[in-house]
Amino acid sequence: MLVWATPAAAGGRALVSAAAEAPATIVGTVTESRALDERAFFAWLVVDRSLAGPHAAGERVAIAWDERVSDRGRRFADGQRILVALEPLPTWSIWRERLGEQDALGIALRGEAFLTAPDAATVDGVAAWLARPAPGRASVAALPELAALVAGAEPTVAKGALDRIAALPGLAAALDAPGGGAALASLRGALRDADRPERLRAALLALAGQRGLEAFAPELAALAGDAASGLAPDAIAAWAALPGGLPRADAARLLASSDPAVRAAVLSHAAGALDDATIEARLGGDPAPAVRAAAVAAWVARRGMDAWPKVAPRLDDPNAPEGAAAVRALGALGEPAVVPLATRARERELDGARGPMLALTFAGPQGVVALRALAADHPDPAARALATFLLGRPPAAH
């Protein structure tokens, strides 16, 4: 007897992508489900509501699907209400053998375009979006409906809608246009709504930064200053990515936060708003290792090899956050760092050579040459063995 080890998938995110093009999207109740073989299933779907396509309420629609993950529960059970995008099954496939003379529709996007137990807000939101003509569903014309889904739909569907928004060309202009008010209000509401999933709000913050959406600057500033929300570091990153960047006064204020994640975010994303003395002071003066590590990266990015005297000692412990940051930051400088790194590695036994050698793996072709020399004639056999081991890996990208 087959025993299901994990819960059935709930679906959601793929639904928005598939429904844009699917011939039919409906809400219905599953009945008379049965197995066709070890992984394929058939059921009737009694239509409660048709959101797009030819089917009418009360109609019985035959559906079939694969369960590609063998230890997962069957996704659709009798009596279950689902929101699903449907498309024809491949006529040339094994489905003809499975179904015989019975016709059925398949679940779009390789069986992933569904949501179990959809709530009313999600169904109404998807219906409003699908009410647009098909060509407009993937354009900025559909931005108000997609934004409303982000603000009010079930989380997986909301993320699918946000994925569609992220792909829209001209997004910043559309939000700033006179007709963009409704979409902007919905997205701002999603950012402010502490009841919306944190991962969804973080994704929206990332989008604001990636696309330079200055319309969200007030929300970014508010969230950056709210350490209790858990989104302050994401908000700082997004704010710093806007065309105007993070203002100096705000960067200094946030760097004084009691939250190490906030201080680290300022150093990682807004170091350009800080002066040299402020960054240098955090190298050893901050109590949090993650903040000191961010300061190391910022200091090397600011000073190049002039950062060597302050940063090189961190290479002695590459397992510490500051040491790992020094390994990557100095190695990323490439050829200018190769001789100092190789010299430091040669002057030390294994424990002291490990950090500089790791940094050489990030230093491009010249770093590989230096590692080969260390593998050949480093005075410490254990260090020679480490260099040989590191050469067995593909050189890290520089």
pTM of the model: 0.87
pLDDT of residue 250: 97
pLDDT of residue 110: 86
Burial class (CB in 10 A: 0-12, 13-18, 19+), 71: exposed
pLDDT of residue 225: 93
pLDDT of residue 95: 80
pLDDT of residue 36: 87
For residues 355 and 312, is the Cβ–Cβ distance under 8 A? no
Q: Could you tell me which residues are beta bridge partners of residue 25? A: 52, 85
pLDDT of residue 179: 81
Burial class (CB in 10 A: 0-12, 13-18, 19+), 90: exposed
Give me the amino acid identity at 232: A
Burial class (CB in 10 A: 0-12, 13-18, 19+), 243: exposed
pLDDT of residue 4: 38
pLDDT of residue 1: 33
The CATH code for residues 1-118 is 2.40.50.140
Digits of tens for pLDDT over the chain (398 positions)? Answer: 333 334 445 567 789 999 999 999 999 999 999 888 888 899 999 999 999 999 999 999 999 998 876 655 678 899 999 999 999 988 767 888 888 878 899 999 988 999 999 999 999 999 999 999 988 888 899 999 999 999 999 999 999 999 999 999 999 999 998 888 999 999 999 999 999 999 999 999 999 999 999 999 999 999 999 978 899 999 999 999 999 899 999 999 999 999 999 999 999 999 999 999 999 999 998 999 999 999 999 999 999 999 999 999 999 999 999 999 999 999 999 999 999 999 999 999 999 999 999 999 999 999 999 999 999 999 999 999 999 999 995 444 54
For residues 245 and 214, is the Cβ–Cβ distance under 8 A? no
Domain spans of the chain, in order of start: 1-118, 120-196, 275-391
